[in-house]
């Protein structure tokens, strides 16, 4: 055996191995150019550059970062499930088109084209009788969530990107264990990579108590994550089918402001009651069915609601996106809001790394005289992404947009409000990763009062921010500009 290995190594020198890598990279490059329609031209060029500039590293990165999830149809519905949902959507399309007069002053009439687009493009059902509460403080959000879980009588369903093995994550799992032991049906779903540090002993106790948990995209080999780019980034909670949470908070100490590096953690979570719980439930069960491999009938699950029909009068659409569809549903809804704006556009995001069409829509809005304001963090949690964020902020400053750097801690909110009439919050960042690579969910709310509340909090945050100006851009060094250029290339592929 050793003799064969010696002959093999003598024949396959390093130059031979590099030649094989170059040939493989050339074949991949040809495939990217002629056959892969899922990537943007910029991403294709970025991959080709990496494949030939750093061949071995480029090949490794491509193999683990560039899988095609769309072909797997991971959320495939049965014929009956498809037919049931299609019937509701078709009925709502007619209702939106025929029942809402164009000259009405109601917010839903002004935005009925967007409602229709979300119905048709994202299969997002509109619900009318909802109430919405805005939470922006991590400690308040976590205490409210724990209180609602403590008071649960029937079911608890949680989906989070991150649940850590710290005093925050452990408190949650211990509470879920307690409720499971009381006979409440408890399901916990987390992303396998984001929650890789979750307390395994706590999960064992949770399962012994009758709880159920599932890891989304769990690796076949422990700690070998070959799907780094495709993560379940959603943050959802559904308690007794009466109370729903959707937003940006994860379950770890930093999200409650207990990590010195970040300080106060500014995020946004929505608490929703009403018929929107039906669409949140459907989203959870689709994810759960894939992650747990449990055979569930979505139609059967969807009729088990205990919501209060008098919860409120706010229209809501839950829009989800992910690499399984390649339709970028949430991004398209963002762009519809931006292109339909007539007065103002307010955005909060930790990462300002959109693609060119989204940047163009923001540039056009600013050049048209609209009040475009964007708030970003004062510090990075991912340095190369932050450099790209500052670069894109500089581009928008030149077009007339106002950029604010939040200085009271870390800005992690993902919100967009337009004209004081419509707003959205959820897990989706203003970046390519959220638009194309991660599984995300956002609530789109057609209500002046909720939008006014989010605008009020935006204005309060401006008092804790400083403007990012053209003078700031002009003062950066050559090395910083070089770092931005490299970061822009990497954000297309990482």
Specify the range with the lowest mean pLDDT, choosing from 101-110, 365-374, 459-468: 101-110
- The residue annotated as part of the active site, out of 148, 414, 431, 461, is 414
Per-residue pLDDT at 306: 43
Q: Which of 135-149, 173-187, 286-300, 333-347 has the lowest mean pLDDT?
A: 286-300
Determine which one of 148, 202, 412, 461 is catalytic: 412
Give me the count of residues in the chain.
Answer: 494
- What per-residue confidence (pLDDT) applies to 75? 74
Question: What domains lie within the chain, and their CATH numbers?
Answer: 2-66 (no CATH), 131-311 (3.30.870.10)
User: At residue 104, does pLDDT exceed 90?
Assistant: no
- Annotated active-site residue 382? The verdict is no
Q: Is residue 123 among the annotated active site residues?
A: no
Count CB-CB contacts under 10 A for residue 42. Answer: 16
pLDDT at 448: 97
Using alpha carbons, list the distances in angstroms from residue 284 to 17, 234, 238, 296: 46, 10, 9, 12
Task: Please write the tens of the pLDDT for every residue from 71-100.
Answer: 566 777 777 677 777 777 777 777 776 666
Candidate list 240, 447, 455, 461, residue with the active-site label = 240
Task: Write the pLDDT tens digit of every residue in 253-268.
Answer: 999 999 999 999 999 9
Q: Is the pLDDT of residue 105 over 60?
A: no
CB 275 within 8 A of CB 184: no
Mean pLDDT of 34-39: 57
Average pLDDT estimate for 34-54 = 64
| Position with higher pLDDT, 5 vs 80 | 80
Active-site option among 165, 287, 419, 431: 419
Q: Does the pLDDT of residue 155 top 50, yes or no?
A: yes
Residue 59 predicted with pLDDT over 80:
no
Q: Helices 55-65 and 14-34 meet at what angle, rounded to 10?
A: 50
Q: Which of 347, 350, 377, 388 is nearest to 493 (CA)?
A: 388
At residue 450, the pLDDT reads 98
Q: Is the pLDDT of residue 151 over 70?
A: yes
For residues 401 and 371, is the Cβ–Cβ distance under 8 A?
no
Query: In angstroms, rounded to a whole number, what is the distance separating the alpha carbons of residues 125 and 279?
Result: 7
**Which of the following is catalytic: 233, 431, 455, 461?**
233
Let me know if 419 is a catalytic residue.
yes
Identified catalytic residue from 110, 164, 179, 235:
235
Burial environment of residue 57 by CB neighbours within 10 A (0 to 12, 13 to 18, 19 or more): exposed
Per cent of the chain over pLDDT 90 is: 64
Active site residue 233: yes
How many angstroms from the chain centroid is the CA of residue 58?
27
Query: Phi and psi at residue 28, in whole multiples of 5°?
Result: -65, -45
Between 5-14, 46-55, 246-255, the lowest mean confidence (pLDDT) is in 5-14
Measured CA to CA, the distance from residue 374 to residue 382 in angstroms comes to 19
Cβ–Cβ < 8 Å for 314, 447: yes
């Amino acid at each position: 055996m050793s003799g064969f290995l010696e002959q093999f190594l003598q024949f396959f020198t390093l130059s031979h191995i590099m030649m094989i890598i170059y040939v493989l990279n050339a074949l991949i490059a040809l495939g990217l150019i002629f056959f892969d329609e899922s990537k943007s031209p910029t991403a294709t060029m970025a991959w080709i550059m990496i494949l030939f500039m750093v061949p071995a590293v480029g090949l490794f990165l491509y193999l683990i970062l560039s899988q095609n999830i769309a072909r797997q149809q991971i959320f495939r519905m049965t014929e009956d499930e498809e037919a049931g949902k299609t019937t509701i959507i078709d009925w709502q399309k007619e209702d939106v088109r025929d029942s809402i007069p164009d000259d009405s002053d109601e917010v839903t009439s002004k935005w009925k084209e967007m409602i229709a687009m979300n119905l048709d493009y994202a299969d997002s059902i509109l619900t009318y009788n909802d109430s919405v509460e805005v939470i922006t403080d991590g400690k308040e959000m976590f205490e409210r969530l724990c209180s609602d879980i403590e008071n649960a009588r029937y079911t608890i369903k949680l989906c989070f990107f991150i649940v850590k093995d710290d005093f925050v994550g452990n408190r949650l799992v211990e509470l879920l264990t307690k409720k499971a032991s009381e006979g409440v049906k408890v399901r916990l779903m987390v992303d396998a990579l984001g929650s890789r540090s979750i307390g395994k002993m706590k999960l064992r106790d949770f399962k012994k108590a009758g709880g159920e948990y599932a890891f989304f995209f769990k690796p076949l080999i422990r700690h070998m994550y070959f799907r780094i780019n495709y993560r379940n980034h959603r943050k959802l909670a559904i308690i007794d089918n009466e109370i729903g949470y959707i937003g940006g908070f994860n379950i770890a100490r930093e999200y409650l402001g207990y990590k010195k590096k970040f300080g106060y953690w500014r995020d946004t979570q929505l608490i929703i009651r009403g018929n929107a719980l039906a669409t949140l439930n459907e989203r959870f069960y689709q994810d759960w069915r894939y992650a747990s491999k449990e055979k569930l009938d979505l139609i059967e699950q969807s009729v088990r609601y205990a919501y209060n029909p008098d919860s409120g009068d706010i229209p809501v659409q839950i829009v989800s996106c992910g690499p399984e569809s390649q339709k970028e549903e949430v991004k398209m809804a963002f762009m519809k809001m931006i292109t339909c704006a007539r007065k103002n556009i307010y955005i909060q995001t930790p990462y300002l790394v959109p693609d060119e069409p989204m940047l163009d829509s923001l540039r056009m809005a600013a050049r048209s005289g609209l009040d475009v304001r964007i708030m970003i963090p004062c510090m990075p949690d991912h340095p190369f992404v932050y450099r790209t964020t500052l670069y894109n902020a500089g581009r928008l400053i030149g077009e007339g947009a106002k950029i604010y750097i939040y200085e009271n801690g870390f800005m992690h909110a993902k919100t967009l409000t337009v004209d004081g009439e419509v707003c959205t919050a959820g897990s989706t960042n203003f970046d390519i990763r959220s638009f194309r690579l991660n599984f995300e969910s956002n609530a789109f709310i057609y209500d002046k009062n909720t939008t006014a509340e989010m605008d009020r909090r935006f204005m309060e945050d401006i008092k804790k921010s400083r403007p990012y100006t053209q003078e700031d851009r002009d003062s950066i060094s050559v090395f910083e500009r070089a770092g931005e250029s490299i970061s822009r290339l990497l954000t297309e592929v990482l």
